[in-house]
Amino acid sequence: MPWQLPEERPLIPFGGGIDSVVVVEETKRHFPDSSLFIVGRFDPIEDAAAVTGLPIVRASRTLDPQVLRSRELGFLNGHVPVTGVLSAIAVLAAVLDSRSAVIMSNEWSASSPTIEVDGRGINHQYSKSLDFEAGFRGLLDAVLPGFRYFSALRPYSELWVAERFAKLTEYHPVFRSCNRAFHVDPSLRASAWCGECDKCTFIDLILAPFVPADQLRAVFGGREPLDRLEMLPKFRGLLGDTAATKPFECVGDVGECRIALELTAARPDRAGNPVLAQLRAEQPAAPAPADRYFAPMGEHFIEAPYAADDLLV
């Protein structure tokens, strides 16, 4: 039978971090028949998924053992385009479950290059970028006309997302963005935020302007990166220090990290923090105006009925 577009019933890939939580909460207000899409089972994702109150469409996948032997076999150990793979699986799951859309949670800075080589920007998370989204949508249009695949956060910064997540306090005890919770080997998965990795450092920095210091310390179980001088090199990488390299992780761009630093340092409950004092002494002034990071700021493929009024043109 030819493809027929069903009624508006979105499927939302869910990873348990701040981005997908914000998308879920906004989408389910307008579309109560939304469902989460989850691949595999990881405790942090399950805990956050339970808070959403939404049903779950599940898939499982098996990682080819050869991928884990890349270095041993002499191959370049490059980035696996996980988001692209999961997008394809999510679309298949949506069609099988008579759903009309797959709504991603990739924000504006996901299109930013991680590093520049010979004048060319290299983005380690290319399958989260606007370019990938455009290409993938083109493929879908050829076989599933009318099916919606887009990122609901594409025109927004991580600062915009963090400000909204800060108000969703029911998720604060359960959300997780530390990648050590998602290790391939279950025996090596961290049971809490490690407080050591680049992702922990970024999430701490981007939430710090909006979440009270004592509450954020509680999230990290007493190992908040902003409280520890040994984490300065990690913060320098996020802030664009020329002696440090931006981490090959899903983190925000230098501009929004510098804005986050300034906003955090201005909070009374962060007064006297030695990490913030050192970073502010080292870094140039944050780019102005800061307001641009709290409004739509880039191209996107969001359309009615999902687009907010300020996105419709």
Mean pLDDT in residue range 191-217: 93
What pTM value is reported for the model? 0.92
Q: What's the confidence (pLDDT) of residue 161?
A: 96
Mean pLDDT in residue range 254-273: 94
Mean pLDDT in residue range 280-296: 82
Residue 244: which pLDDT band, with cuts at 50, 70 and 90? Answer: low
Least confident of 95-109, 125-139, 294-308: 294-308
Q: What's the confidence (pLDDT) of residue 187?
A: 74
- Which pLDDT tens digit goes with each residue over 47-68? 999 999 999 999 988 878 887 7
* Token digits of residue 274: 């030695």
Mean pLDDT in residue range 179-194: 76
Q: What's the confidence (pLDDT) of residue 138?
A: 96
Say if residue 249's pLDDT is above 80.
no
Mean pLDDT in residue range 107-114: 86
Average pLDDT value over all residues in the chain = 89
Residue 74: which pLDDT band, with cuts at 50, 70 and 90? Answer: confident
Task: Give the other-Cβ count within 10 Å of 165's Cβ.
Answer: 24
Domains and CATH numbers, the chain: 10-156+296-311 (3.40.50.620), 162-292 (no CATH)
* Cβ-contact 205, 189 below 8 angstroms: no
CA distance 72 to 283: 40
Q: What's the confidence (pLDDT) of residue 281?
A: 92
Distance of CA 104 to the CA centre of its chain: 10
| Residue, of 29 and 285, whose pLDDT is higher | 29
Say if residue 313's pLDDT is above 60.
no
Mean pLDDT in residue range 293-303: 91
Say if residue 242's pLDDT is above 80.
no
**Range with the largest mean pLDDT of 62-71, 163-172, 238-247:** 163-172
